Amino acid sequence: MSNVIDALVFDLDGVLLDSEQIWDQVRESYALENGARWHPKAQTDMMGMNSREWSRYMHEVIGLRQSPERISQDVARHVANVYKQKLPLLDGAIAAVEQLAERWPLAVASSSNREVIDVALQLAGLTRCFAVTVSSEEVPQGKPQPDVYLETARRLGVTATRCMAIEDSQNGILSAKAAGMRVIAIPNRRYPPSRESLGVAALVLDSLTQLTAATIDAL
């Protein structure tokens, strides 16, 4: 495998935003407010799923009467509204993105709905830094399948094996690796990836503040 890196691909939730628990809270509240049940494994089960997959899960497993399409739209709108009140940016997110954008084309490959990705990057003032953004609702399967990362590489016009992905979750790490990308893992502290999935990463960092051009060059 060539050591040359042509582009960097960021996950959004858990990498740039401290947002996994926001999705969890919004989906749980939505389910309970609409008379459905909730169970402790729901968030873990849905992590990495695209919007079609998790909204179908909420319809079929959680027991919501609304259609999956309606569930997806309602939840995404609620999450976007939370972001508009206070965007949960992780420490170092803006600095890391702006610095790395000076060296490489950047992309986002996220399980979030398209509308949520666009709102988050706009509020952060980072839209201009990303050449490509892809929601996994735009591909057949969510993470851990490689679809969203393969589509991101295609839109960037680069070979997936010459991309570096920055991920926080088990399914995200496995998705990027399955696409042939090298992975820098910044483990999600609330939903930590397994030791096995961290083992396939090229590098494991504690935080975004450690993600620099020099760190990537050293790989």
Domain 7-18+88-218 sits in CATH at 3.40.50.1000
Site of tokens 């858990």: 14
Instruction: List the chain pLDDT tens, one digit each, 219 residues.
Output: 457 999 999 999 999 999 999 999 999 999 999 999 998 899 889 989 999 999 999 999 999 999 999 999 999 999 999 999 999 999 999 999 999 999 999 999 999 999 999 999 999 999 999 999 999 999 999 999 999 999 999 999 999 999 999 999 999 999 999 999 999 999 998 889 999 999 999 999 999 999 999 999 998
Q: Which residues contact 186 (CB under 8 A, 6 or more apart)?
A: 15, 166, 167, 168, 204, 205, 206, 207, 208, 211
Say how far apart CA 160 and CA 45 lie, in whole Å.
27
CB 216 within 8 A of CB 164: yes
> What are the residue boundaries of the structural domains of the chain, listed by start?
7-18+88-218, 20-85
Site of tokens 């979030």: 112
Q: Which helix (H) or strand (E) holds 185?
A: strand 182-185
Question: What kind of architecture, by CATH, is found in domain 20-85?
Answer: Orthogonal Bundle (1.10)
